[in-house]
Amino acid sequence: MTTKLKKLPGPDNFEVILAKDFKGYYSSADPTTIEGDVFIRGSQNIYKNIRGNIANRPGRKRYDDEDDTATNGIKAGKTWSTSLGKHLVLRSQNGLLQVWSDIVTTDTFVWYTLLSGLGTDLRFVFDTWWNNTLKKDQLVFVRGTDDFYMWSGGIAKISSTTSTTIVLSATVASSGFNTSSGSVLINGTTYTYTGSSASTLTGVTGDPTGEAVNSAVIQTVITTTNTPADGFDNDFLKVINNQVYIGSYNSRLIYISEDDDYLNYTVPATRVAGDPELLTLDENCNGIGARQGKAHISAGQSDWYEVSFSQILVGSTLTEQTFVKKLPISQGAAAYAHEFIANYNDQIVYLSKDQQVRALGVFTNLTEVSYPVLSKAIATDLKNEDFTQGQLKVISEGDLGDLIYVIAPNTGTVYIRQNKQALVRDGSIRTESLWFAPFVIGIGQIDSRNGTTI
């Protein structure tokens, strides 16, 4: 006679319930005390996708097909969406500064060298400056020396040549070249020109007739030494209202250029709007951000400064006064470094000296600037991380919302905060913010080119 077996007690008697309201990644709290539907310390490479499901992070592949022969990796990069409609990607590696272009064959991209022999000083910081004479933007950049660099973005290919002319595949102006004079690089050889007409560079010195048709023609980088000052380490810059702000990690000085001449830093006896200026802060500088059209400069361990200008009439002369307002902040809440300062909506988002992600701005129910911590959930992870040579970047990722990337290249770890906003039926805004479990990717910097994160 047989009998029906009873259900045996034991560890297999449990009910599986799918998480319906994933609340992100928490590493700082005791796992036994926090609410459910979260990932805890030790989780990696998982996130909440656009469908609301928990998923493995997407795989990554090389954005370019060219083998990287660098021994120390890429140290800095920039995606420049020019005023002429181009999307130029730059990188520094192996003593070189290069630009990625498909100018010769459409959709076949090649890295072209702009500068070589740079040694180990490859931590470039870039921004764009508007040339009102040429009616186009130009790329300005520094790398921790007293050199100042500008590149016009000129790229084309040869249609034909004579001993004194180079005819380009498009007009000189629309290709991004300086129209009055300059120099170009073709297959490793530099040629100068004294003028232009339509698509032709004229007054070319150095006979270019030996260069093959369809060869790439690249405007050379203009390097200006001892700018803004001899021996000043230009570690970072920021263009605000078309004035270039330059700072150094080893100095309390901030140089500000003239608004129509990025190389003029001489402060006149009587300043008017747009004139150069020189600021002296209380501590050495950490970096520069911008909010509501004003420069915000971090220094030391606990300093943020807001810079503003006011025009007043002195006698019959209209002059401009500079106001530097020191903002109240706690010890350790200054910015970690310039590359860790970004913008999100009307706020500055940054990694602080105590290695927490903070926001600088005015928030609901507050009437003055505040610096709330955004990384409480992962405070322990960030505190113990190595962010040397890293970056903080905010990129809009479509349905995923706005993502704050905090990159630690020496450990190969990327921390990502997701901020999503949606308009609901009653007309209010619903906001969701959470941290992904750390992504182990092994990158140094991140950017976006024409809507694609690279």
Cβ–Cβ under 8 Å, residues 401 and 424: no
Tell me which amino acid residue 299 is: A
Task: Please tell me the distance from the alpha carbon of residue 220 to that of residue 420, in angstroms, as a whole number.
Answer: 42
Task: Please tell me the distance from the alpha carbon of residue 257 to that of residue 57, in angstroms, as a whole number.
Answer: 44
Please give the helix or strand (H or E) that residue 262 lies within, else none: none
Cβ–Cβ under 8 Å, residues 311 and 320: yes
* Predicted pLDDT at 8: 47
The DSSP code for 380 is H
Task: Please tell me the distance from the alpha carbon of residue 317 to that of residue 56, in angstroms, as a whole number.
Answer: 65
* Predicted pLDDT at 13: 47
Q: Which two tokens stand for residue 103?
A: 């100018």
CA 243, distance to chain mean position in Å, is: 18
* Predicted pLDDT at 67: 54
* Predicted pLDDT at 323: 95
Q: Which of 377, 343, 376, 375 is nearest to 360 (CA)?
A: 343
Placement of tokens 């002369």 in the chain = 317
* Predicted pLDDT at 406: 96
Cβ–Cβ under 8 Å, residues 180 and 169: no
Residues 6+ apart with CB under 8 A from 56: 45, 46
Q: Which two tokens stand for residue 427?
A: 């007309």
Q: Which two tokens stand for residue 408?
A: 């630690």
Average confidence (pLDDT) per 10 residues, the chain, 454 residues: 49 48 71 65 69 67 58 84 94 95 93 95 96 96 98 97 97 96 96 98 97 97 98 98 98 98 96 96 98 96 95 78 92 96 94 95 66 89 95 88 92 90 66 85 84 76
* Predicted pLDDT at 191: 98
DSSP E strand boundaries for 268-316: 277-280, 285-291, 294-299, 303-314
Cβ–Cβ under 8 Å, residues 313 and 321: no
Tell me the longest C-alpha to C-alpha distance in the chain.
116
Task: Please tell me the distance from the alpha carbon of residue 125 to that of residue 141, in angstroms, as a whole number.
Answer: 5
Instruction: Look at strands 195-197 and 277-280 and give their pairing.
Output: unpaired
* Predicted pLDDT at 118: 95
Task: Please tell me the distance from the alpha carbon of residue 356 to that of residue 349, in angstroms, as a whole number.
Answer: 11
* Predicted pLDDT at 50: 66
Cβ–Cβ under 8 Å, residues 276 and 266: yes
* Predicted pLDDT at 16: 44
Q: Which two tokens stand for residue 320?
A: 């401009």
The DSSP code for 428 is P
Task: Please tell me the distance from the alpha carbon of residue 414 to that of residue 429, in angstroms, as a whole number.
Answer: 29
* Predicted pLDDT at 447: 86
pTM here?
0.89
Residues 6+ apart with CB under 8 A from 430: 421, 422, 423, 424
Q: Which of 111, 110, 114 is nearest to 122 (CA)?
A: 114
Q: Phi/psi of residue 377, each to 5°? A: -65, -30
Cβ–Cβ under 8 Å, residues 293 and 274: no
Cβ–Cβ under 8 Å, residues 380 and 41: yes
